[in-house]
A and B are shown apart, each in its own frame.
Chain A
Amino acid sequence: MDSALIPEGAKRCSFPKFAIGIAIVSAVVLWGVFAMFLCWFKGLNQTNMDDYYGFALWIWADLAVIAVGGGAFFTGLLRYIFKIDELKNIINFAVIIGFICYSSALLILAIDIGQPLRGWFIFWHANVHSMLTEVAFCLSAYFAVLTIEFIPNILENRQANKVPFFHHLAHNMHGVMAVFAATGAFLSFFHQGSLGGVAGVLYGRPFAVREGLLIWPWTFFLFTWSAAAFGPCFTLLVTKITETVTGKKLVKDNVVHLLAKISGWMIVTYIIAKIIDTIYWAMVTAPSLGFTLSHFYSNNGFYGYWILITEIVLCGVVPGAILIMKSTRENPTLRLVAIILGTIGICLNRWVMVLQIMAVPVMSFDTWALYFPSWQEIATTILPVAYGIILISVAYRYLPVFPQEQELNTIEPVSKTE
């Protein structure tokens, strides 16, 4: 039915099967859209946030998707600026994942503000001292860059590519993509960093505040570094999921091993910096404000030392160690464990840097504040996941996302011709 749109030589499931799959995920999207409109029309009383928890699940989701979407800018940087040619085989997919992540972040932000119609004030009345202003500018600009990076892949669709203008446009855009990759890396450095700065500048919150360099707290650099380190883990994880769902090998092992190795070394260097930062904060920063480390991890029903150990050791040191050693990195099971742990680790870090900050009491007579999101918050957070599944499905079906797909899956067409 839609075979004219499918890349030449590629094998895809039947259209009815594809349509049924999309319909099921679309139901989840509709659920999320319903919750989104409830929030827009009835207000944020639809959430379980309160005056202690003004920042909650949505801000975490924003930070998490932007962190895992960091695979796009970092892979682009490696491919186009550092000229690591093998990565051309996964860059399209990294860009699509980044596009999904950043569009999701913008959508969630649009739901998360109390006066959505005034969202543009952040640009018009910008406060140059606010990290959130920097986030808004760089995030929007980088989303534009991601869109530009995604366009050539869309134009390579079998039908679109028949139009000479689109064909040449895609070709020429590929030619200048290094410029956009460099722009993307520059913008990402600042918005990933300023998302870290959002927490690090909160000098009224001893759990969050960090010293730093000039106007940038250490969290600024840690967030950029961690996004570059763990973003590729997520790219590899989604690639693996796509391979499992489609039942096909889509990227050659040498490409996967290379990206995993780079990610591993980034994780190891990041986690060393993170450990140093944590020790300095625990031994110097927090005590200078009258707080012991135990204050942040006791006397409440959820946040214990387990979260610190899980984030840094189990989901930081362990995946880093697995990915830097050739023998473990090239073991598919261990590599999968590492990229799953890495993805969980970066999400957990963002959770801690949003929700635990809000939970910790600061005034000596105050109490811990814990919160569980409402179904509207959960639905609108799942919404981008469902949207991402649909976009990946559509892109995979109709666009030449994986350049090595045909080479890796040639057995069937050969047997047919015989």
Chain B
Amino acid sequence: MKQNNNKAHKFGMVIDLDKCTGCGSCMVSCMSENNVPFKEDESNKKDSITWMRVYKLTNGKSFPDTEIVYMPRPCQHCGGKGDHGHSPCVSVCPAVATDYGYDTGIVSQIYTRCFGCRYCMGACPYHARYFNWWDPKWPEGMENYLSPNVSPRMRGVVEKCSFCYHRYQAARDTAYYEGRDDIEEHEYQTACTTACPAGAIVFGDLNNPAHKVHQIVKPDPHPDPRNKHVVGKSRNPKVFRLLERLGTNPKVYYLSEREWVRKQGDNYLDGEWDKIKNHHGAASHG
């Protein structure tokens, strides 16, 4: 089994939920950037394709104590148990149609390889994977706006957020052309990151201490002593990941000052949250 080596990139994201206004720009920019088709009636969210989906969370209290937060949810690009690259979806795909990039940490989807068994969708607890139930269609004239850098998907295959991988390829091509070995932080940013008017999304290389995402998240490279499957836990007490306890090791982190928001990131037994809410990566105890 391959291990992530230190020279490899590990692209990830941190989303500041206290800044997110729920405007939906990230969703729109994502659909536009990635040629996501849409239906005439998108009211059924369970069969509409939204690589980036914004959930609305509440603290469950009645007025005037009600608080709301909007949680954008792209593919979490899980590293899998122990961060070895066996993401929940990658490990189950029978035809290697979804793969883990050990050089980037990005979970890819190979549309022409996928035969539509949907096992990956069943494996993903984040509902980040979408099936093309219909042929992709756009209103007349709108095909002219399709991005030439992203292939549209055919009916009968699964698709999901790619962290705008084509932008990474373009940035790498530019770097190569200019004789550079690597790309700069600003050269590879996802569409949702650049579109967010509140600057709530920060994207970059979690392995690179010079990148802002690393500085905010401060990922702990060591396994969590409480759960050996969890690697990359944030040492920032305000940062959390979705369903971290399952050991999926997502590369999408969330940031919030509010405790009730952080608590919604995972499931806890009665009284458990109070015991572990201050447990962060190893350095937090240093």
Contact = CB atoms under 8 A, between A and B. Distances in A.
Interface of A: 43-45, 49-55, 112-116, 118-119, 121-122, 124-127, 129-133, 136, 198, 201-206, 287-292, 295, 357-358, 362-366, 369
B94 A50 contact: no
29 contacts: A43-B133, A44-B131, A51-B127, A115-B114, A118-B115, A118-B116, A119-B115, A122-B117, A125-B97, A126-B94, A131-B92, A132-B92, A132-B94, A132-B117, A136-B94, A198-B92, A201-B91, A203-B81, A204-B88, A204-B246, A206-B246, A289-B267, A291-B267, A358-B122, A362-B243, A362-B246, A364-B265, A365-B57, A365-B264
Nearest to B89: A204
Given A45-B133, A125-B97, A205-B122, A290 B266 contact: yes
A312 B150 CA distance: 50
Nearest to A202: B123
A392 to B, nearest CB: 30
B247 interface: yes
Contact of A113 (B88, B116, B246, B269): B116
Contacts of A115: 114-116, 154, 156-157
Contacts of B170: none
B270 to A, nearest CB: 8
Given A43-B134, A125-B97, A366 B115 contact: no
A289 B122 CA distance: 18
Given A203-B246, A205-B122, A289-B245, A50 B95 contact: no
Contacts of A203: 81, 88, 246-248
Contact of B117 (A49, A113, A362, A363): A113
Contact of B46 (A51, A122, A362): A51
A30 B122 CA distance: 31
A127 B131 contact: no
Contacts of A119: 115
A290 B122 contact: no
B130 interface: yes
A180 B123 CA distance: 35
Contacts of A363: 125-127, 242-243
A43 B267 contact: no
Determine chain A's interface SS by DSSP, over half rule.
loop
Contacts of B264: 364-365
B127 to A, nearest CB: 6
A130 B115 contact: no
B55 interface: yes
B176 interface: no
A358 B127 CA distance: 11
Interface in B78-97: 81, 86, 88, 91-97
Closest 7 CB pairs of A and B: A114-B116, A114-B156, A290-B267, A54-B118, A54-B121, A118-B115, A204-B125
A52 B88 contact: no
Contact of A287 (B55, B91, B269): B269
B132 interface: yes
A205 B91 CA distance: 14
B26 to A, nearest CB: 18
B124 interface: yes
Given A121-B97, A129-B86, A289-B245, 13 more contacts: A44-B133, A51-B47, A51-B121, A51-B129, A54-B119, A114-B155, A122-B117, A201-B92, A204-B243, A290-B268, A290-B269, A291-B269, A357-B122
B243 to A, nearest CB: 6
B144 interface: no
B267 A114 contact: no
Interface string B247-270: 110000000000000011111110
Nearest to A198: B119
A68 to B, nearest CB: 23
Contact of A364 (B46, B88, B266): B266
Nearest to B71: A365
A290 B245 contact: yes
Contacts of A289: 245-246, 267
B157 to A, nearest CB: 6
Contact of A50 (B47, B115, B267): B47
A205 B132 CA distance: 23
B92 A114 contact: no
Nearest to A47: B133
A105 to B, nearest CB: 14
Given A50-B44, A114-B155, A202 B267 contact: no
Contact of B272 (A51, A114, A290, A362): A290
B243 A202 contact: no
Given A44-B156, A45-B133, A51-B130, A365 B267 contact: no
Nearest to B268: A290
A274 B93 CA distance: 28
A364 B135 CA distance: 33
B91 A129 contact: yes
B113 interface: yes
B6 to A, nearest CB: 25
A366 B155 CA distance: 27
Nearest to B60: A365
A96 B48 CA distance: 43
B224 to A, nearest CB: 13
